[in-house]
Structure 1
């Protein structure tokens, strides 16, 4: 039998939609070995797992909440800040997000878009409402069966985002914490180490 490329066509279709929708979409490609058993990942793919979406949410100074009466007036000065979370079992800060929901492999195009998933996951994990304005990175991952030729295809998308409302109220089963950072912490997740330069270059677009 020929090898099965789980969800390859769906991942391709969704990446092509992103490329058609937004002016600049950088797609990286890599092949990975499964972190655990390939059969477990294959099961997730058969149930509709096709990757995840994340948002780098920026809050402008004028969007900061009013101070309480007990705070001194000179504490009001604020800066542009980005929302970062620290996942359970992690010691690194990174943008919030998670897996897409509702995709049925028997119904191409079903379920959430990557944009919808990013917005939903940020609010579920942190209590913060946002909108996204385009992908900054699209990471297409092919996970190969080390004992055969089957593959699972996934895509992970990080969007630029804008704060629209809400305040931090973390989902404790998902995060150890979340905070608004004016300067990025040293413990930034390795997958987003490129963000300091990106953020500085795109501040006016936030």
Structure 2
């Protein structure tokens, strides 16, 4: 199995009630996720999270700790995926679908409804807690 790291960013609106979600075009059906995607070679988790949000939504974000870490085995693809979901805040940019071949919609979704799409097991209500753990980058060690 190939290890694949994936980052997502949990972003709330100014009222703290709705979560920014993207609707991805899938092979069989479209599906909602938080903005995010695969970490590229040589990229930190934080860099990947910021880049993916910008690419998918047009928004500039700042990362404020880790919301959750999860993993899944995709037998059909031969992938062992590790998901790093960060908390973030929007610091600039404008919502814009720059990759219409991948993203069909960007929407603000009620946090309880969004929780159904975030794929975090047994944590109903966790999305509205303000908890996070720090993200620590030890820099490059030679």
TM-score under structure 1 length normalisation: 0.51
Structure whose residues are more often helix by fraction = 1
When residues 199 and 156 of structure 1 are mapped into structure 2, their CA distance, relative to the original with a 3 A threshold, is: closer
Match of 1:202, SS state, is coil
Q: How many residues align?
A: 127
- CA shift, 1:91, in A, is 4.0
| Structure 2 unmatched runs, 5+ | 132-142
Mapping of residues 132-143 of structure 1, within 5 Å = 132-141=63-72
When residues 194 and 136 of structure 1 are mapped into structure 2, their CA distance, relative to the original with a 3 A threshold, is: farther
Distance in 1 between the 2:88 and 2:34 partners?
10
Match of 1:168, SS state, is coil
Structure whose residues are more often strand by fraction = 2
When residues 187 and 100 of structure 1 are mapped into structure 2, their CA distance, relative to the original with a 3 A threshold, is: closer
Please, what is the CA RMSD of the aligned residues?
A: 3.2
Give CA deviations for 1:26-58 in whole Å, capped at 9, x if unaligned: xxxxxxxxxxxxxxxx6xx5xxx6321010112
- CA shift, 1:184, in A, is 4.2
Q: Match of 2:45?
A: 114
| Structure 1 unmatched runs, 5+ | 1-41, 62-78, 104-110, 145-150
Are 1:156 and 2:104 matched, yes or no?
no
Distance in 1 between the 2:85 and 2:21 partners?
13
Mapping of residues 87-106 of structure 1, within 5 Å = 87-89=24-26, 90-101=29-40, 103=41
- CA shift, 1:81, in A, is 2.9
- CA shift, 1:112, in A, is 0.8
Could you say which structure has the larger radius of gyration?
1
- CA shift, 1:140, in A, is 3.9
Residue 177 of structure 1 is aligned with which of 78, 88, 105?
Answer: 105
Match of 1:51, SS state, is strand
When residues 80 and 189 of structure 1 are mapped into structure 2, their CA distance, relative to the original with a 3 A threshold, is: closer
